[in-house]
């Protein structure tokens, strides 16, 4: 090991960027208990160079404190320094979670979910991304050619994902130019969200070490195929049995899962401010993109905001195992911790309120007449970040899941991004987001 090797303490902030400070390996043990300091106002950095209005100014700091469980040392190419990192919680000086810590926000939502339902929540993600380099050129969607052109990258990336224990399931070409997808299996609780952050960083690193760049941005260009990152949720009871499935339920949803979906549906407009939180997210969200444009829940419906994913198994006893609920209105400009935390809070609220199962919708709501949509209670998702932020501000249940300081800081940050976008052309903004995400 080189004496120059660094361990990066990484935290995923309000705009979903992995920010970091590094320590030499020999210093890590001494540093890990209290972590490293970071100015509170750092949480109000936009994805670009500027700082949004914030409640803190130059005062005070949090301790970015690594969770040793998340530490990974990954050697990709032998001639390149290893990627050595650990994910952090942002803690107050007394060791309690800071009110604007994204990871702690998810941790508390999961703890409440478990306490109130007795269930564990399992999380899996699909990670769509695009590789870009001039020489890649065009290849047919989903083709073997598309993926064999980048075989050295794929090999490096897959080996590192396996080494990191991130539950890699598939690596495949997607529909867009240079677009690929990696799916990871479910993991319980916080570890599922940690996997998302780590998977993205491993993919970026493998691209760097292959002379490429990888982007998870929701829209590489206004007319490009979007990158989603669909979130798959399932529940397990204390004995480890699947609890989101009921062969007799509507769409095979158990009662608790149906209520969860109804809670997500009820708050979807406000949730978008957290799950699709950049101006360019709304170039991706919309009908006919297989992303989703309406607030519907449907079985195997790729135009639905919430897709119910049945199991391929025929045996009813096995059908619960792979059964899960997919949330499609999420993209990689969101912090996975915030996005999942908010979804869990919305679902839990639906359970608390005993909401009835949503009407399950087949087909494309955009092909229905306006009257039919009205009759069926189908609503368009927000069409801009501004609209989503307005819905967020008006939904007191949703803002109540955050502290007032967090609502203030988050809203100011996102309104700042709206302004930046309004002053520029979509093409230019897509390029800027692509450089960051
Ligand atoms: N790329 C689509 C999206 O933006 C998803 C396509 C799929 O279903 O995999 O969400
Ligand atoms: Mg896909």
Euclidean distance between CA atoms 275 and 196, whole angstroms: 14
**Rounded distance from Cα 212 to ligand 2 centre (Å):** 21
Q: What is the pLDDT of residues 91-131, one digit of tens each?
A: 999 999 999 999 999 999 999 999 999 999 999 999 999 99
Question: Which ligand does the CA of 275 lie closest to?
Answer: 1
Residues 131, 212: contact at Cβ < 8 Å?
yes
Ligand 1 atom nearest to CA at 128: 1
Dihedral class, residue 378 (left if φ above 0, else alpha if ψ from -120 to 50, else beta): beta
Of the two residues 246 and 3, the one the predictor is more confident about is: 246
Confidence of residue 144 (pLDDT cuts 50, 70, 90): confident
Span from the CA of 281 to the centroid of ligand 2 (angstroms): 16
- What integer best gives the mean pLDDT of the chain? 95
Query: Which single residue is written with the structure tokens 């199962």?
Result: 357
What separation in Å is there between the alpha carbon of 125 and the centre of ligand 2? 11
Q: Which atom of ligand 1 is nearest to the CA of 126?
A: 9
pLDDT digits (tens, 9 = 90+) for 201-260: 999 999 999 999 999 999 999 999 999 999 999 999 999 999 999 999 999 999 999 999
Average pLDDT over residues 75-103: 96
Give the pLDDT confidence of 344-384 residue by residue, as tens digits: 999 999 999 999 999 999 989 999 999 999 999 999 999 99
What are the structure tokens assigned to 259, written together? 């209520």
Q: What is the pLDDT of residue 136?
A: 80
Domains of the chain: 105-401 (3.30.590.10)
Q: Of 291, 303, 330, which is best to mutate to test ligand 1, by the most ligand atoms within 8 angstroms of its C-beta?
A: 291
Positive or negative CA dihedral for 45, 51, 53, 59? positive
User: 4-43, pLDDT tens digit by residue?
Assistant: 999 999 999 999 999 999 999 999 999 999 999 999 999 9
Q: What number does the ligand 1 atom closest to the CA of 292 have?
A: 10
Q: Which of 349, 376, 235 is nearest to 295 (CA)?
A: 376
Nearest to 385 by CA among 217, 243, 269: 269
Distance 370 CA to ligand 1 centre (A): 25
The pLDDT of residue 133 is above 80: no
Q: Residue whose CA is closest, atom 7 of ligand 1?
A: 290
- pLDDT tier, 134 (very low <50, low <70, confident <90, very high otherwise): low
List pocket residues of ligand 1, CB cut-off 6 Å.
128, 225-226, 228, 284, 289-291, 302, 328
Interval between CA 227 and ligand 1 midpoint (Å) = 6
Rounded to whole angstroms, the Cα distance separating 77 from 122 reads 32
The whole-angstrom separation of Cα 230 and Cα 85 is 25
Tell me the C-alpha distance between 39 and 58, whole Å: 7
| Closest alpha carbon to 298 in 336, 339, 261 | 261
DSSP H helices, 4-101, are 28-32
């Amino acid at each position: 090991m080189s004496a120059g090797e660094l361990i990066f303490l990484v935290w995923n902030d309000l705009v979903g960027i992995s920010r970091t400070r590094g320590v030499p390996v020999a210093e890590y043990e001494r540093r890990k208990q209290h972590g490293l300091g970071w100015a509170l106002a750092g949480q109000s950095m936009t994805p670009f160079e500027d700082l949004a209005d914030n409640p803190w100014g130059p005062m005070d700091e949090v301790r970015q404190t690594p969770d040793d469980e998340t530490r990974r040392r990954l050697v990709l190419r032998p001639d390149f320094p290893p990627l050595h990192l650990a994910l952090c919680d942002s803690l107050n000086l007394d060791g309690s979670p800071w009110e604007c810590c994204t990871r702690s926000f998810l941790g508390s939502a999961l703890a409440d979910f478990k306490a109130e339902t007795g269930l564990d929540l399992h999380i899996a993600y699909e990670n769509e991304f695009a590789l870009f380099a001039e020489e890649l050129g065009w290849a047919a969607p989903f083709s073997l050619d598309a993926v064999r052109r980048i075989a050295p990258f794929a090999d490096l990336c897959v080996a590192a994902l396996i080494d990191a224990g991130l539950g890699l399931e598939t690596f495949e070409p997607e529909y867009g130019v240079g677009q690929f997808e990696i799916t990871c299996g479910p993991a319980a609780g916080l570890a599922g969200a940690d996997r998302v952050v780590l998977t993205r960083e491993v993919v970026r690193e493998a691209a760097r070490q292959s002379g490429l760049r990888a982007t998870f941005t929701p829209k590489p260009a206004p007319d490009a195929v979007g990158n989603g990152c669909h979130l798959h949720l399932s529940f397990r009871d204390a004995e480890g049995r699947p609890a989101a499935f009921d062969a007799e339920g509507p769409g095979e949803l158990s009662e608790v899962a149906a209520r969860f979906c109804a809670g997500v549906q009820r708050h979807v407009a406000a949730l978008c401010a957290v799950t699709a939180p950049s101006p360019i997210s709304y170039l991706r969200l919309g009908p006919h993109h297989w992303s989703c444009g309406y607030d519907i829940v449907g079985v195997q419906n790729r135009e639905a905001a919430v897709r119910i994913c049945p199991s391929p198994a025929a045996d009813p006893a096995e059908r619960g195992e792979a059964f899960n609920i997919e949330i499609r209105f999420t993209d990689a400009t969101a912090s996975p911790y915030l996005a999942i935390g908010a979804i869990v809070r919305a679902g839990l609220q639906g359970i608390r309120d005993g909401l009835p199962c949503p009407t399950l919708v087949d087909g494309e709501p955009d092909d229905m007449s306006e009257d039919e949509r009205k009759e069926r209670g189908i609503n368009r998702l927000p069409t801009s970040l501004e609209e989503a932020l307005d819905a967020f501000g008006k939904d007191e249940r949703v803002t109540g899941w955050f502290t007032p300081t967090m609502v203030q800081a988050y809203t100011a940050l996102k309104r700042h991004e709206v302004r930046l976008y309004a002053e520029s052309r979509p093409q230019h903004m897509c390029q800027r987001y692509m450089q960051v995400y």
